[in-house]
Chain A
Amino acid sequence: MTTLTQETKKEKEVIGWGERWGRLRFDMRMALIVMQRELVDSARDWRILIPIILLTFGFPVLMNFAVRQIISFSATYGGDIVAERLIPLLLLLVGFFPATFCLVIALETFVGEKERKSLEPLLSTPLTNLQLYVGKMMAAVAPPLVASYVGIGAYVLSLMQRIDWQIDFQLLVLVLLLTTVQAVMMVAAAVVVSSQTTSVRASNLLASFIIIPITFLIQAEAAAMFWGNISGLWWLLLALMITTGIFIRMGVNIFNREELLGRDIDHIRAGWAFGVFWERFTGRGAEGYPSLSQWFRGTFAILSQLRQPAMVLLVGMVLAMVFGAVMADEYQVPAELKATFLEDGLQQNLDELQLVARQLPLTIFLRNVRALAASTLLGIFTFGVLSVFGFVLPWILLSFLAAQLVGTGLNPVVFFAAAVAPHGILELPALLLTAAAALRWHTGIIAPPPHRTVSENWLLAAADFGRVFVALVIPMLFVSAFIEGYVTPLVVIAVYGG
């Protein structure tokens, strides 16, 4: 089954701009037909309609009442700033609560159709995957968003009238945009969740993977609002837009007929999953297990597939170093701490280093393995973001340190050549290999190749990561830990010990 991306690619090859515009209009017309039907369905479902109406009209009234109570309470005890910061936060909540119904409608419209068996007749029509996806997305997003906007409007107008509160235009735009992006993100994520289940019940359970991060998000937004850091929310908005883009990209890939109807099973197939992983990890083929040398050759072959994620990481590394330098310029290390790099401080450090370093290799090795494993595992839940973070963080620190060293008069190149390079020559590439394989693994679910399912692609990339980690990274970390324990201190002492 062609995915939407392939469909789009195919069209681009054969049609010109005029035709493409015509095709776009046709697609939108078809999507609107789908949307219209969904809206009729939602409008007749009291389980959706009544809460939305209550949240749209009741919640702003409640919030308005709450604001007035808080103002009067804080005026009594002189905490005006609390009320001042709370009003925008409640504005955000007034918009957010009706918007959460996006998730309910989306799960109902995507997986509900599957469960009620009304999806197959729909898939047998000439509607394309894209038309269906867009139509259903719009139908899930539109009613709650309209409710949110109405709620926000009612809240703002009533506060303007009651307490003469004048809303900051930037804040209003920001809240509207945040509400919109959050709604679209929830729906886009719901499509991904729906594609992995065959019942609304199961999708509701899986939806906790959406609700929990959204809860943290709201807490972050609340913190920013209390802090009075409105401009910081623009960065959050940008991050949300990127995340939404990733979810839409995933949804566009997943929402195709083959995925939707080709798999009617949503129980855990542990045997199959283990089989896929094990075959790839061990390299077992029709002729059995490979020899150790063949296995290593196979693992080296995986490295060529890490080129793209490695490039992304190297770009991230450069940016991280720039960021570290900028931070060093902004946040100078206190003079007494700097002194530890110099003269007597340095000598004392070296003495301590000599004592401790030789007992460290195993600790260093285990710490490195643990840190890489942790950032890789956390990356699973963040589309690889934390894996990338795990890779760039040392570079930020190194760059920060280098910039601070310049300020002390020490030559940073000499310092790093002595203190980092001996073991870093193995440790840093190991770090890059881990992060690249992890990034490939974690982003593999965003757009799997057409001949593979999301889970299959994820398992294969996980097995590839496992091979690279076991065959290359662990030995590199092991050797580098010993160098760090035995060689690096000697080099540092030779250079700085006088």
Chain B
Amino acid sequence: MIEAKGLVKRFDEFEAVRDVSLQVKKGELVALLGPNGAGKTTTVRMLSAILTPTEGEAWINGFNVRTEQDEVRRSIGMLTEQPGLYQRMTGMEYLLFYGRVYGLGDDLIRRRCRELFARFAMGGAEERRLGTYSKGMKQKAGLIRAMMHDPAVLLLDEPTSAMDPHSAKLVRDAINQLRVDERAVILCTHNLAEAELLADRIAIIKQGQIVAGGTVADLKQQLLGWPLLEVRVDKVVNGEVGELAELVQIEKVMGDRIRYRTADPARTNPQLVRRLDDLGLGVVTLHEVPQSLEEVYLRVVAGNDELAHQQGGQA
């Protein structure tokens, strides 16, 4: 559905995007993460045939972004970071305009408009001027515009920004539905929790380059190492830790709790429990310490560039 190979975009002497390659299949959602000015928007603009790549190729729904621009634009629905609505038009007039541009009949546009407004809990607001909408409603109206012509590919930039939790949930549900409907979606976001929740795969972009990519689990393992586990025992741990080092990699000891890492928890944990028992330490709890996507992101974006380069390059 979406395939990009070695995309490069230069503006005069400035290289905004450097050798970006990614692939998004039908029913798949890839989140594009990165700091401001990393090249996410330029990448999306190239994929939507608004900007022509300086180098590299990309195909959207089988159409080349250089040579089949009309078809590419017909195949995509795009939500920009700021929805960019026409404030003096009503929601219905706005969608009638966009629907007509995509060649849809007025009856179909009206039907779809009401259906989508209702789906995003905005039923009845379609006859109000867009200037009277709240920020969240505007964002949803922008999303409705992107979904209006039922495109095969959706490029969504910060779809839930400025939304209250209920609206954000509605939008996330709608995005999940897109996946069920076999649409290919690229989601640009700074909301890492949302990316973790929605994305099948993540691509972290920094200084115009994809520096890390894969599933959330893969990224965590690649960038944060083996799973981090914590065992709590029935008394304060003293010198016994040395006895455990041959089994696991000890990270930290905090009173009655030991944090450790192991490559194969299924095999090692029973051995560890037995060993603790032998040492006279009764196991109270044992669980995996959750490591967030944020840690991965910060590791990649804020530092450890070398590691990131080794892991990344392709999403």
Contact = CB atoms under 8 A, between A and B. Distances in A.
Given A37-B86, A263-B11, A127 B101 contact: yes
Interface in B207-241: none
B113 interface: no
Contact of B51 (A40, A41, A257): A257
A128 B50 contact: no
Given A30-B101, A127-B101, A1 B84 contact: no
Contact of A124 (B50, B85, B89, B100): B50
Contacts of B145: 121
Contact of B78 (A113, A118, A124): A124
A361 B49 CA distance: 60
Contacts of B48: 124
Interface in B1-26: 11-13
A1 B100 CA distance: 24
Interface residues of A, number: 32
Given A1-B52, A45-B88, A40 B93 contact: yes
Contacts of A263: 11
Nearest to A265: B11
Given A117-B80, A118-B84, A261 B51 contact: yes
Contacts of A113: 84
B97 A37 contact: yes
A261 B45 contact: yes
A259 B102 CA distance: 23
Contacts of A128: 70
A258 B102 CA distance: 21
A40 B88 contact: yes
Given A125-B101, A127-B101, A117 B51 contact: no
A310 B84 CA distance: 48
A236 B268 CA distance: 92
B37 to A, nearest CB: 11
B142 interface: yes
A272 B13 CA distance: 9
Contacts of B87: 116
A123 B89 contact: no
Contacts of A124: 48, 50, 73, 76, 78, 80
B98 interface: yes
Contacts of B101: 30, 33-34, 125-127
B15 to A, nearest CB: 13
A37 B51 CA distance: 25
B291 interface: no
Contacts, number: 78
A37 B94 CA distance: 8
Contacts of B69: 2
B304 interface: no
A120 interface: yes
Contacts of B84: 113, 116-121
B80 A120 contact: yes
A188 to B, nearest CB: 24
A16 interface: no
B86 A117 contact: no
Interface in A88-125: 113, 116-121, 123-125
Nearest to B93: A40
A262 interface: yes
A125 B72 CA distance: 9
A30 B74 CA distance: 14
Contacts of A36: 97
B140 to A, nearest CB: 14
B51 A262 contact: yes
A84 interface: no
Contacts of B83: 117, 121
Nearest to B16: A262
- Most interface-central of B83, B86, B87 (chain A CB within 10 A): B86
B292 interface: no
B134 interface: no
Interface string A308-343: 000000000000000000000000000000000000
21 contacts: A1-B50, A2-B69, A33-B100, A40-B93, A116-B84, A117-B80, A120-B45, A121-B83, A124-B73, A124-B76, A124-B78, A125-B98, A126-B73, A126-B74, A257-B49, A257-B51, A261-B45, A263-B11, A272-B12, A272-B13, A453-B12
Interface of B: 11-13, 45, 48-52, 69-70, 73-74, 76, 78, 80-89, 93, 97-98, 100-102, 142, 145
